[in-house]
Structure 1
Amino acid sequence: MDRFSALKAFTRVVEAGSFTRAADSLNMPNATLSKTIQQLEAHLGVSLLQRTTRRITVTPEGREYYEKARCLLEDLEEIDASFNTARNKPKGHLRIAIGGSTACDVLIPLLADFMTSWPDIRIDLQVADKPADLISGNIDCAIRGGPMEDSTLIARKIGEATLVTCATPGYLQRYGTPRLAG
């Protein structure tokens, strides 16, 4: 006898108030359900239900067993739900390497919202203009511009940036307008 299935079957019979309705909700034949309950009663050495042709009545032992079984099944469902939620919810340590200007202009302004949305992720932001060694630095993600130096890594284009050279009017008056070489 599968005690878990028997426990579930018994609680369903009590809640449904009949073997037929319980068997239908469990998608099992009425005879199988009846046999399962008989095996459970034999295992426990007590009668959980009094049966007549017209109805079932829960015995005092059956009522006590039902209350404990229901609590146990609810706890089990809660445990399963907590793991399903935890499994589907990202968590852990995320190490990101990024250049200084990209960090300041793009990523850092987005971090507060990200951390609110994903509180179980801890960010380790490594800001440097020199490309980091992703493997030895144990870095999960790098955001860089330009061609990759290591072709064994996986890269995805996430955007484009235009670089513009700027100067103040005072600089241009003093040093003149720069010209492109060649």
Structure 2
Amino acid sequence: MDKLQAMTTFARVVETQSFSKAAQTLSMPRSSVTTLIKNLERHLGTTLLRRSTRTLSLTDAGERYYASCRAILSDIAQAESGLLADATAPHGRIRAGMPGVIGRAIVLPRLREFEQLFPGIELTLVLSDRPVDLIYDGIDCVIRTGELADSSLTARRLGQLSWLTCAAPRYLKEYGEPDSVEALSAHRAVNYIANATGRPLDWRFNVDGENVTVTMPSRFAVNETEAYLQCGLEGLGLIQLSEFVASPYLETGRLKEVLASARSAPVSISIVYPNGRNAGAAIKAFVDWVIRIFPQSGVNPD
């Protein structure tokens, strides 16, 4: 016997004071209602309803059982309405990880908009160039660049990042501008230390349709994007930056792109989160919002 169905049917019979009316409101045959009540009474080992040709009334046991049914059915209705409310007005806490430069350039300037759209969501941004593990670091979703390893997580593409080789006018005045990838051996670079490996990243180019990797000598190396950018602005060496980070400085002349014809192929940028069954409404709301704001950020669409 489906106890929940039996309780619902019993409560409807009591409230309508009629087997026929209860059957009509529940879209069930009257015979099914009668059978359900009989089976419920047999299961409970007591009579719940006094029946006559004209009246229907509760026994003492029926009164107590009806009160319990109303409380249980009310709790179920509240639980369901709460979940439905989450779908339209998500609430809860989210920890979102992302590279610091992306957070500062794209997400932080739009947080007031996010608050207005989702006042019930409490958002913590974890800004770091270090790769984060969703489970170990307690992160609900993360923005990542580059190709993603296969996993049980859901990944949604945000666009592509193009990487530029840049230098400050001060550097170019002192060392000149490289006119080919081969000419880089006569130049200085600021290297970026990958947090995952502790080693400098190779410099990547595309020459005549072929990918070329160069290990650049340097006197300075850092492991944080803002510090890396600052080194480039100070003229300490050539740097490679994503286009959306470099653009404001290219426009003002504080940086100049070099070797534009040898730009490497763009890399993908994605937001990653638990699969649909495990992602709450708040996480999905944040992910959808990030996907909406990225095309307005200067990141290249796919």
Q: Normalized against structure 1, the TM-score is what?
A: 0.66
Say whether residues 1:97 and 2:99 are aligned partners.
yes
Which of 122, 125, 129 is residue 124 of structure 2 equivalent to? 122
Equivalent in the alignment of 1:137? 132
Structure 1 residue 120: Cα displacement: 3.9
For 2:188, the equivalent position in structure 1 comes to none
Which residue of structure 1 aligns with residue 60 of structure 2?
A: 60
What count of residue pairs does the alignment treat as equivalent? 156
Give the structure 1 partner of residue 75 of structure 2.
75
TM-fit CA distance, 1:15? 0.9
Higher mean alpha-carbon deviation, 75-84 vs 11-20, is at 75-84
1:172 maps to none
Which residue of structure 1 aligns with residue 293 of structure 2? none
Moved more, 17-26 or 114-123: 114-123
1:33 and 1:12 map into 2 onto residues whose CA distance is: 10
The equivalent residue for 2:21 is 21
Q: CA deviation at 1:84?
A: 4.8
Cα deviation per residue 1:13-68 (whole Å; 9 max; x = unaligned)?
A: 01111111101111211111111111111222222111122231222321221111
The alignment yields a C-alpha RMSD, in angstroms, of: 3.5
Q: 1:165 aligns with which of 252, 255, 259?
A: 252
Taking the aligned partners of 1:141 and 1:12, their CA distance within structure 2 comes to 51
Q: Is contact 2:13-2:19 (8 Å) kept?
A: yes
Query: Which amino acid in the other structure matches residue 67 of structure 1?
Result: A
Could you tell me whether the CA contact under 8 Å between 2:49 and 2:62 is conserved in 1? yes
Q: Identify the residue that residue 228 of structure 2 maps to in structure 1.
A: none
Q: For residue 108 of structure 1, what is the amino acid of its counterpart?
A: L
Kept after mapping to 2: 8 A contact 1:11/1:69: yes
Distance 1:103 1:43, change over 3 A: closer
Amino acid corresponding to residue 12 of structure 1 in structure 2: R
Q: Name the aligned partner's letter for residue 16 of structure 1.
A: T
Distance 1:6 1:35 in 2: 10
| Aligned partner of residue 78 in structure 2, secondary structure | helix
- Would the aligned equivalents of 1:115 and 1:121 in 2 still touch at CA under 8 Å? no
SS for the counterpart of 1:93 is strand
- For structure 1, the 5+ residue unaligned runs are 127-131, 143-147, 168-178
Q: Which structure features the higher share of strand residues?
A: 2
Q: TM-score, normalised by structure 2?
A: 0.43
Match of 2:35 in 1: 35
Distance change (3 Å), C-alpha of 1:34 and 1:103 = closer
- The equivalent residue for 2:237 is none
Are 2:97 and 2:132, in contact at CA under 8 Å, matched by a contact in 1?
no
What is the CA–CA distance in structure 2 between the aligned matches of 1:111 and 1:123, rounded to whole Å? 10
- For residues 14 and 252 of structure 2, the distance between their equivalents in structure 1, rounded to whole angstroms, comes to 78
Kindly report structure 1 stretches of 4+ aligned residues shifted beyond 6 Å. none
| Aligned-pair CA distance for 1:107 | 3.1
Alpha-carbon distance between aligned partners in 2 of 1:4 and 1:151, rounded to the nearest angstrom: 49
SS class of match (1:46):
coil
Identify which range, 24-33 or 37-46, moves more after superposition.
37-46
